[in-house]
Amino acid sequence: MTAPDKQHTFDVFDEKWRRARTWAIATEADYRKWYLTRYGYETPDGLAAFLKGRRRILEAGCGQARDSKMFAELNPHAEIIAMDQSPQALEVAAENLKPFPNCQVVREDITTFDWDTSFDFISCDQVLHHTPDPAATLKQLFSHLMPGGVLNFFVCRKKGAARDLADDAIMEWAKKASYDQLWAFAEEVTRFGKALHGLGIADVSFNGVVYPDLQRLVHNLLFRCWYNPNIDFQLSVSSNFDWFSGNPRFNAEEVRDMIATLPEGSYEVTRFYEDDASISVSLTRFR
């Protein structure tokens, strides 16, 4: 697993957002629940209570700004910056945030922006692992957090020998593929995931774990074939497209090591959430 090349990441995501313009709206309901669960707010009211009194919020790597929209709805008083490198994403983000005058979209590299200002909440969901040196990016975001500020971040998790090996092999091939070739491959694996889901074989047990259906077992253990029956087929394809374009994964120990590079005594980890696919962390800056 090699570190992602920044320009490659930028280009691939711009292409993904060009092809998947309805992603944020189509996945909003699912991902709100997902965000509230993994960061421990549980309900919109729980997140609203956390956001109350926060004045400056940064969504680092916002994509189409689905999370900024949620923060703006729950705290209309905060100044919210939705930051991404992708012009295609930011075009849609600006449209989605139009009803919220307290939001601004900004094209910046989250690994290098150097602003003489800080935030009392930074959310960096599903982005850090896409940067070439996630520990350095973590430090960079932490340096823009004010004392008392909270940083939420996410990385993809190592999954298991077979799945990780298959992912790495496909990602190696994908480095040399054109966008059209990679999209065609993503369509094939999505069709495969759809076919597995269509078999209707539910509650499959393996190794002490019960998977909701056969598609989820194959997807989790053998190779990525993500498929969501509730959204347009091409949106599921878009998710497999960006995954295979390069997606480093980490285990809990590696994430703890990454956090330990922050200045000692300057933060507290308030939540460390791990599921089969990812790890999410909340930390608070003391000073």
Q: How far is the CB of 125 from ligand SAM (least distance, A)?
A: 5
Nearest residue to 33 via CA among 59, 70, 65, 60: 70
Query: Which one of 68, 75, 96, 111 is in contact with ligand SAM (CB under 6 A)?
Result: 111
Name the residue whose CB lies closest to ligand SAM: 63
* Identity of the residue, 126 or 282, whose beta carbon is nearer to ligand SAM in the bound complex: 126
Residue 62 engages ligand SAM in binding (rule: CB under 6 A): yes
- Whole-number Å distance between alpha carbons of 151 and 107: 20
- Residue corresponding to tokens 């005594």: 265
Q: How far is the CB of 13 from ligand SAM (least distance, A)?
A: 4
Query: Which one of 81, 82, 110, 122 is in contact with ligand SAM (CB under 6 A)?
Result: 110
Nearest residue to 122 via CA among 287, 284, 10, 286: 284
Q: Is 229 exposed, middle or buried (0-12, 13-18, 19+ CB in 10 A)?
A: exposed
Contacting ligand SAM within 124-163 (CB under 6 A): 125-127, 130-131
**Contact yes or no for 141/259 (Cβ under 8 A):** no
Query: Which one of 75, 85, 140, 190 is in contact with ligand SAM (CB under 6 A)?
Result: 85
**Contact yes or no for 255/129 (Cβ under 8 A):** no
Query: Which one of 20, 51, 72, 86 is in contact with ligand SAM (CB under 6 A)?
Result: 86
Residues that bind ligand SAM (CB under 6 A): 9, 13, 61-63, 66, 84-86, 89, 109-111, 125-127, 130-131
